[in-house]
Amino acid sequence: MIKSLLGCALAGLIALHAAQAASIPDLGPVAVEARDSGLPEGWAQHGVFVEILVRAYQDSNGDGIGDLNGLTSRLDYLKSLGVSGIWLMPIFKSQDHDHGYHVTDFRAIEPDYGTLADFDRLIAEAHRRGIGVIIDYTLNHSSAEHPLFDAATDGKTSPYRDWYVWAKPKPSGWTTFSGDPWHEVGDEAYYGAFGDALPDFNLRNPAVLDFHLDNLKFWLNRGVDGFRFDAVGVLVENSSVAWENQPENHQIMHKVRALLDQYGKRYMVCEAPSDPGAFAAPDSCGSAFAFGLQKHIIKSVKMGRLMPDVLYTLKTLPVARMGTLLANHDAFAGNRLYQQLQGDEAAYKLAAATLLTLPGTPFIYYGEEIGLSASTPVAQQDQELRGPMSWTAGNGAGFTSGKPFRPLVENARTHNVATEDGKPGSLLSFYRALIKLRTAEPALSTGSFTALSKEHEPIFAFLREQGDTRLLVALNYAARPASIGLPGGIDCKSLQLVVSQPAAKAVPASGKSCELKLAPQQVLILKAPRQG
C-alpha cells in the first residue's frame, strides 16, 4: 500500500514537472555555427554605433509602434549617417512591452516588433550595407512572468528552483537599486536587485550559465554581430555589503567573451556604471561604457572650460577600448542632449565633436544627430528619453501613420531628418561629416591620444596619431575668442584645415611659437605633418 502511494505521488510529481516543462521556452543546447558576416576586421573599433529603441524608431504597419521592418526601411539613412554598427535595445518577448528588459523568452522576438524572419532580414540587409548589429542581453535577471521563474516558485522539488536566488528566512539589512532586494513568497524570499518584477538568476548554478550561453549561440548563429550586456556589475552577490562588482562577475563575463571569440569579428560591450574600467579589462568583458566621461564633457561645454575630470578620466580609464557616449536610454546617464544644453546648437556641436574625436568607440543615441528632444508627458523619467524618432515635420513626424505609442518629442517640427538633411550647418550635416572623417582616418578611430591643454583652459586641444598621420583637434568651449600655444614640433605654416565650425577659410595661427586662435565655441580639426 505504501509503495503504491509513493508510486502515485512520484507519478504526480513527474506529471507536474512535465506540465511545467511544456510551458518553458526551448532550453535545448545549441552548437556553435560560426559564419562570416562579411564585415571587415575591426569593424566595431574603427566605426561609430547608434543605439536604437526599435519601438521608437519607425512604424511600418500603422499601429503606432516601431518594428523591425520599419528599422530595415531606414537602413539607407543609417548608411548615409556613416555608422558602422547598430545597438538594438532589447528585442525579446517581454512583460513590459516597452523598454524590453522584463524578458519572458530569450529566444523569441517581441510580437510588437515582428518575427524571427523579419529579424533575419534586418541582419542580412544591414550586412549588405556594411553595418553590424549587436543586441541587448540581460544575464542578471528575467521577468517574474518568465516560465522558468514560475516553475521555480512551485516549491523546492522543482528542477528549476535553484535557477534563481532564494533564502529562508528573509535576510535583512540589504539595500540595492530598488531598496530591499529580498521579496517574500510564503516563508521564503527571492532576490531581485531591480525589484520584485525582475528576479535574479542564480549564476553560481552552471546550468543557468549554460542556458545563457546557449541563448547567445542561438542569436550568434542567426548572424548577430555581438551584444551589449546589461547590469554586469550585479551578476553575483556575496553579502549585504558585497552585492556589486564581485570577482565572480568578471569570471562569468570572461567565459562569455571566450564564446564570442569562437565566432570571430564579434563585438561585446558591458554596462557597469560603478566600475567601468575593471569590466573593460581583457580578462573580463574586454570593453565597457566609459560612464562618467560624458558628464565631464558636457560640464566642460556648459562651463566654457576644460574640466579636470575629463583629463583624469582619459588618464585612468582604458578609454581606447571602451564605448563612449554623451547620452543614452537611461536617465542616470543624463537627459537628452538637447535638454542638457538648452537647445544651444553651438554647444551641442562642441559636445559631439569631443565625442567623435576622442579615443574609444562612440555610441550616439538615436535622434542625437538631429537634436531630438525629450518626449512629455510620460509616466516615467526614462520614458522621456525614449520618444519617437522625428523623420518629418508632418503629423506623426514620419514615424507612424497612426497614433504613436508615446507622445512625439517636443521639437519634432523643427528638428527632424527632412528639415536638416543636406542643410549646411545643420546638426545632421555636422554629425555626418565628423563620422565620415572618423571612419576615414585611423588616427581618429584607433590612434594614440596626447593632450595639449591643461585643466580649466577654454580650449581643449589634443593630438591623435597613427602611422604617418597626425591630426590636431582644438575645441574652444568658451563663448569668447581664445588662443592656445602649440608645443614644439608643430609648424604653424604646415597646418592644413580639415574641419572648421563655424567655417574658416584658413588656419587661424600666428607667431613664432605657433599660437592657434579660435573663435567662440569653434571646432577645429587640422592635419599637422611632422617636421623633417
C-beta of residue 154 within 8 angstroms of C-beta of residue 20: yes
Element (H, E) at 149: helix 147-152
Residue 456: name the closest of 487, 478, 473 by CA.
478
SS3 state at 421: coil
Give, rounded to a whole angstrom, the gap between the first and last alpha carbons of the chain: 100
Q: Please report, for residues 38, 91, 224, the alpha-carbon distance to residue 127 in angstroms, rounded to integers and kept in the order given.
A: 7, 18, 10
User: In this structure, are strands 459-466 and 469-476 parallel, antiparallel, or unpaired?
Assistant: antiparallel
**HEC profile of 57-111:** HCCCCCCCCCCHHHHHHCHHHHHHHCCCEEEECCCEEECCCCCCCCEEEEEEECH
- The C-alpha atoms of residue 439 and residue 107 are separated, in whole angstroms, by 34
Interhelix angle 247-261/206-221, nearest 10 degrees: 30
Residue 289: name the closest of 56, 103, 51 by CA.
51
C-beta of residue 364 within 8 angstroms of C-beta of residue 333: no
Q: C-alpha cell of 297?
A: 564633457
C-beta of residue 94 within 8 angstroms of C-beta of residue 53: no
Residues contacting 319, CB < 8 A, separation 6+: 290, 293, 313, 358, 359, 360
Q: Please report, for residues 84, 312, 315, 369, 394, the alpha-carbon distance to residue 416 in angstroms, rounded to integers and kept in the order given.
A: 22, 36, 37, 10, 10
Give the position of cell 532564494. 166
Report the amino acid identity of residue 158.
Answer: S
β partners of residue 172: none
| Residues tagged active-site | 230, 271
Give the position of cell 507612424. 400
